[in-house]
Structure 1
Amino acid sequence: RRRGPAGADGHGAVRPAPLGEPVWDFIPDNSKAAFHASSSVYFELDLTDPYTISGLASCQMLPHGENLQDVLPRELYRRLKRHLDYIKLMLPHWMTPDQRGKGLYADYLFNAIAGNWERKRPVWVMLMVNSLTETDIRSRGVPVLDLYLAQEAERMKKTTGAVERVEEQCHPLNGLNFSQVLFALNQTLLQHESLRAGSLQAPYTTEDLIKHYNCGDLNAVIFNHDTSQVPNFINTTLPPHEQVTAQEIDSYFRQELIYKRNERMGKRVMALLRENTDKSFFFAFGAGTA
């Protein structure tokens, strides 16, 4: 929780769906009070706006009606399909009794996360693969904190808004060149294939993120990795030319998704505060930003 100028409260909103008890239950009372007292609540994106959701969906799609099978090397596509077939097979075993009790089905969950995957750009498929782990699957079904706050703000008739546009979140990811994207997807698949084989342990999980967030210590998770949104491809076992590619991707994501983004969001927050000195604001941004 970061205190801003008079009438402004900043709050880091963990994105992943909480495990068991919602993150909101662990939010300090003074932050909850600030949320209730505010007249306006601002997020990175307005997740209650249908245009935002459709914009996020369309920016992930390959252009000109292409399919992944058309653009990926044959063996990489086969490995991806094999991994997704494995995920679909394992989903019923990963789901919790609580999820089943709420009426969630394995096919529904798979389609909610991976539906239309053959039409998506490879970089978004890479991120999708990273969200298809047992720990993340078991956490599905509880709203992420910022969506929960958006729904609460709407229910309480507060003014809501966003400091980012959809294209500002999409363009940096779509800005990687094709060879970088292929490298990233290949490394991601290698990691998950090793996890399946039991020869690798996940560097950190959604559960770790929730635990560290609740304990007030995100440094242990967030700032030892590229960002909270993308995997870390740098490791000492890569050959030198691949280490260069991994470093380029890491630097690009840091620059685009952390430094430039924080500066842009910070300027917009300050402009809102300067232009509305008579209003009280609550800002809920993802952990790892601002």
Structure 2
Amino acid sequence: MHAALAGPLLAALLATTRARPQPPDGGQCRPPGSQRDLNSFLWTIRRHPPAYLFGTIHVPYTRVWDFIPDNSKAAFQASARVYFELDLTDPYTVSALASCQLLPPGENLQDVLPQELYWRLKRHLDYVKLMMPSWMTPAQRGKGLYADYLFNAIAGNWERKRPVWVMLMVNSLTETDVRSRGVPVLDLYLAQQAEKMKKSTGAVERVEEQCHPLNGLNFSQVLFALNQTLLQHESVRAGSLQAPYTTEDLIKHYNCGDLNAVIFNHDTSQTIVLLLFFYFAAKSDPIPQPKKLPNFINTTLPPHEQVTAQEIDSYFRQELIYKRNERMGKRVMALLQENEDKICFFAFGAGHFLGNNTVIDVLRQAGLEVDHTPAGQAIDSPPARSSAPPPEETSASPAPATPAAAIPEAPSVTPTATPEEEDPALSPHLLLPDSLSQLEEFGRQKKWHKRQNKHQRPRQFNDLWVRIEDRV
């Protein structure tokens, strides 16, 4: 999803290029003995009834579930309405995200890329296809997920995609990301559980608002970013470069890192690197300070490329952080006003709530009282009416059965135009590191159900909004 993040992307890619196999302990850290010692990404909006903001991470939920405090889970269970960045259960979301990535009709990637860059890209994808069988896990094979299918699902129509999306695709075709396919990311897992628990769900962002900023980068910036991305992966393959920041590091910071260790004072190119890594590899934005950042972004790039990296940084700060924070905050306020008597739970990437100019800042500036809720602190809400079942691959106490209860009317997110039917075998899969291919599959499962529900009222949104990423 980045465009032209050349310098920045370099590291972003590096970060996910060749991560180590997933350890069983949540990113090299073990659950603390006390709830109070856990990281908390929960904030409470003080009102009656309360509302909650929860920071997610776009990695397989089994990697982080045991590290999420009980009070965060209780807030989710107690909520009547749950909102995400995008409606993960709406088939239109899947279709629109896929369409957004495509070149205009009649154009192919070979027509728009310089010949040398195109053939480097093709060689790298051939390498990935060759290596993918060795990257797959026995568990994936046991579920019927095989390398050829997975490669085609992720990269089957790569020649029809815009260069910026191809760059993101390449970034997700790493050993660690491939090994994680088949398990829902945390956001999707919560959406699935909300559906099972008969909660009303919705979104604060439209597909176009996430897609257009990426497609808005100029062509020279996109080429710069794609070239740097390939250089990064080629160097890792050759053994001359090691990924400095991996998905494992991201998980570790989320599970047991320092909430206050967020990047604020790095130079432009370093900042954008991390920004992009979190936006695309985890979509949690601002990231805890890593011990060491890749020098090569600052020392290897010639001055004119440094300028390009800074321009990209500025563009993404404005379009993917500041504008989206403002719009997201306004939409959260509108939804709170529409649901004054309901407990609302907003689950967005953790970066939306960290740093400066965040969604929390927007809400506070509007007069709302928003407080961080530490792990171990009781939440100010009625007893939970239902509980999300624990993940299959983690140790958690059995969840109580969901009692019958009045189900709030679900807001509709169906657009006026109905997307065309897609052939499940041919539909373009999203290539984001947050496993949107799973989102697609989930969307298809819900397609018939959504079309049969004729009693949903249209959801109301104020203004425009965009997605966030903490100020890095």
222-231 or 30-39, larger mean C-alpha shift: 222-231
Unaligned runs of 5+ in 2: 1-41, 265-270, 282-293, 354-472
Instruction: Give the structure with the higher percent helix.
Output: 1
Change (3 A) 1:123 1:271: same
Cα offset, 1:220, TM superposition: 5.7
Report sequence identity in percent: 82
- Among 336, 341, 355, the residue aligned to 1:278: 341
Match of 2:174 among 98, 118, 133: 133
Paired residue for 1:157? 198
TM-score, normalising length: structure 1: 0.94
1:241-280 matched pairs, under 5 angstroms: 241-280=304-343
Partner of 1:167: 208
Residue 31, structure 1, aligned to residue 104, structure 2: no
What does the per-residue CA deviation read over 1:99-152, in whole Å, with 9 as the maximum and x for residues that have no partner?
222221011221222121110000001111111111111111110111111111
1:226 is matched with 275
Q: Which segment is superposed worse, 212-221 or 173-182?
A: 212-221
Q: Deviations over 1:175-201 (max 9, x none)?
A: 000000000000000000001011111
Where in structure 1 do 4 or more consecutive aligned residues deviate above 3 Å?
Answer: 216-224, 230-234
Deviates more, 1:215-224 or 1:138-147: 215-224
- Aligned ranges 1:111-122 → 2 under 5 Å: 111-122=152-163
Task: Say if 2:154 is the partner of 1:105.
Answer: no
Aligned to 1:76, which of 107, 117, 132? Answer: 117
Deviations 1:78-113 (A, max 9, x none): 000000000011111111222222221011221222
CA distance in 1, matches of 2:154, 2:260: 28
- Per the TM alignment, residue 283 of structure 1 is displaced from its structure 2 partner at its CA by 0.7
For structure 1, list consecutive stretches of 5 or more residues without a partner in the other structure.
Answer: none
Amino acid of the residue matched to residue 60 of structure 1?
Q
Kept in 2: contact 1:222–1:288 (CA 8 A): no
Taking the TM superposition and a 5 Å limit, the aligned residue runs for 1:11-90 are 11-18=54-61, 21-90=62-131
- Please state how far the C-alpha of 1:269 moved relative to its aligned partner: 0.6
The question of 1:238 aligning with 2:279 is answered no
d(CA) in 1 for partners of 2:321 and 2:260?
A: 15
Are residues 222 and 59 of structure 1, via their aligned partners in 2, closer, same or farther at CA, if it must alter by over 3 Å? farther
1:255–1:218 Cα change, 3 Å: farther
Taking the aligned partners of 1:119 and 1:27, their CA distance within structure 2 comes to: 40
Which stretch shifts more, 167-176 or 137-146? 137-146
- Aligned pairs, number: 288
For residues 1-29 of structure 1, the C-alpha deviation after alignment (integer angstroms, 9 at most, x for no partner) is 222233211111111225xx342232110
Q: What is the one-letter code of the residue matched to 1:142?
A: V
Question: 8 Å contact 2:63–2:251 — kept in the other structure?
Answer: no
The answer to whether the 8 A contact 1:234-1:247 is kept is no
Partner of 1:212: 253
Query: Structure 1 residues 195-204 or 44-53, which shifts more?
Result: 195-204
The letter for the 2-side match of 1:29 is: D
- Given that residues 68 and 118 in structure 1 are in contact (C-alpha distance below 8 angstroms), is that contact kept between their aligned partners in structure 2? yes
TM-score (norm 2): 0.59
